[in-house]
Amino acid sequence: MTPLLRVENLTRSFGGRIGCADVSFDLYPGEVLGIVGESGSGKSTLLNCMAGHLAPDSGKVIFDTRADGPTDTLTMSEPERRMLSRTDWAFVHQNPRDGLRMRISAGGNVGERLMAVGARRYGTIRSRALDWLERVEISDDRIDDRPAAFSGGMQQRLQIARNLVTGPRLVFMDEPTGGLDVSVQARLLDLIRGLVRRMGLSAIVVTHDLAVVRLLADRLMVMKDGHVIESGLTDQVLDDPQAPYTQLLVSSVLQV
Amino acid sequence: MISVDNLSKTFTLHNQGGQVIPVIAGATFSVAPGECVALTGESGAGKSTVMRILYGNYLAQGGSVRIGDVTLTEAEPREILALRRETLGYVSQFLRVVPRVPTLDVVAEPLLALGVAEAEAFERARGLLTRLRIPETLWTLSPTTFSGGEQQRVNIARGFAHRYPALLLDEPTASLDPTNRETVLRLIEEAKSAGVAIVGIFHDKGARDRVADREIDVSSFARAVA
């Protein structure tokens, strides 16, 4: 099987400081990879380099494109990469305000993504928007409201609908449940899990919350000071951590 | 179906002075299809550790584990996940589920993950829950609020939903009343006659004597403290 995404020696530094260094891994179709580590460990830098938001100093991000097979996205032209990020990729930001247009309606937020990939008929766009609002549990009488009038959890669900409506194959998520109440978190995690399984999505989830990766991720990478210090099956890394830092991280979780 | 060769495991506690705790060394045994092997030994002998290594949950330090045609100790994460989906089941002592997911979905999930049609998967889940006497009024609720015995039975239903060719059972009858215990023992016997290879931990001697073909004393694998 061809990996959907292959990352080779991805490195980015800021001045003399390391952002992330020599990160390599393969992600296969349908796999969910979790990346954990404390603040400043380089996990967001890594995510942004992969998603094309930040230019890495060196390395490759090879994506299995529908048209040409595995292609290094870092050497693609800007329009090609932008098309990829509209069709095959999605990016769920920690703060929904970064991923939504706050001044247009909820339906418009979802519809805009469809128009960006060529949908033109109003009726089709509206019905698909309604379908997606229902899938993320937003009632249809809110379709014309602006996201500014939504709660944090609803905004996050709307952002997920906006991202998934175009049927991407790879979703990047940066702390998708950060800043939400635990009750809202559980519902959102359940929703994400269901969507990932039904759509056969691959996802890369960056978080500092070990409970989130236990529920969502098949595989886990642990980062410290820009380096991947341990990786493996999620439950194995959490239940039998090998590296000193991972042991510290796992044993520091407060039990409720 | 399951073969373990010269397996060893130590735990290194880096944050507690780098203390090294040896658990097992030189563990070698195999389980044929239709056979049930019971792991015995006192608490702390390493029974659960062996089970967890067999499931890929703990990393072995040396030796090898083969389940069917997969060498677990060398497999990639996605190969282990495929193995767990198709071949290798595990009924742990404790239920671990996503909060708020209904019991029926919890039990049907292993089948849905294999691509079994929803109607068929839920039919099988309903059948198992009925057999294990989980009242129908509870099926739409999350098992996180259930009693210990109910949770254990949900866990067993989930473990038996798909007929895995290899099955690991950690104390499947521990907190059950006689009627439910009998149902679980029958499920185990049915699995055996269907050719399932089983490794189990049974503190309940009666249960062990009834379903296990052989016993393996894990303390015989205990590593001499260096």
Q: Using CB atoms, pick whichever of B14, B100, B113 lies closest to residue A244.
A: B14
> Between A and B, how many residue pairs show a Cβ–Cβ distance under 8 A?
51
**Residue ranges of chain A with per-residue pLDDT less than 50:** none
**Chain B contacts to A (CB-CB under 8 A):** 11-15, 52, 56-59, 77-78, 80-81, 98-101, 112-113
Contact yes or no for A236 and B56 at CB 8 A: yes
pLDDT in tens, A226-255: 999 999 999 999 999 999 999 998 888 776
Characterize the bridge pairing of strands B197-201 and B166-170: parallel
How distant is the Cα of B149 from the closest Cα of chain A, in angstroms? 22
Hey, of B9, B59, B72, which one would you mutate to test binding to chain A, going by the most A CBs within 10 A of its CB? B59
Does B217 have pLDDT greater than 80?
Answer: yes
Contact yes or no for B59 and A242 at CB 8 A: yes
Measure Cα distances from A88 to A63, A80, A165, A166 in Å.
10, 11, 11, 8
pLDDT in tens, B90-143: 998 888 777 778 999 999 999 998 989 999 999 999 999 999 999 999 999 999
Q: How many Å apart are CA B159 and CA B187, to the nearest integer?
A: 11
Q: Using CB atoms, pick whichever of A236, A248, A251 lies closest to residue B59.
A: A236
End-to-end CA distance of chain B: 33
Mean pLDDT throughout B44-67?
Answer: 92
**pTM for the model:** 0.88
**Which neighbouring-strand residues pair with B13?**
B19
Q: How many Å apart are CA B16 and CA A255, to the nearest integer?
A: 20
Task: Return the pLDDT at B226.
Answer: 42
Task: Return the pLDDT at A256.
Answer: 59
| Average predicted confidence (pLDDT) for chain B | 91
How distant is the Cα of A14 from the closest Cα of chain B, in angstroms? 31
Is the model more confident about B191 or about B42? Answer: B191
Tell me, what's the ipTM? 0.87
For A127, counting Cβ atoms within 10 Å of its Cβ (0-12 exposed, 13-18 middle, 19+ buried), the class is exposed
Task: Return the pLDDT at A216.
Answer: 87
How distant is the Cα of A80 from the closest Cα of chain B, in angstroms? 30
Residue B137, C-beta contacts closer than 8 angstroms, at least 6 positions apart? none
Does B220 have pLDDT greater than 90?
Answer: no
**Chain A contacts to B (CB-CB under 8 A):** 28, 31, 186-187, 189-190, 193, 197, 215, 218-219, 232-233, 235-236, 239-240, 242-244, 247-248, 251
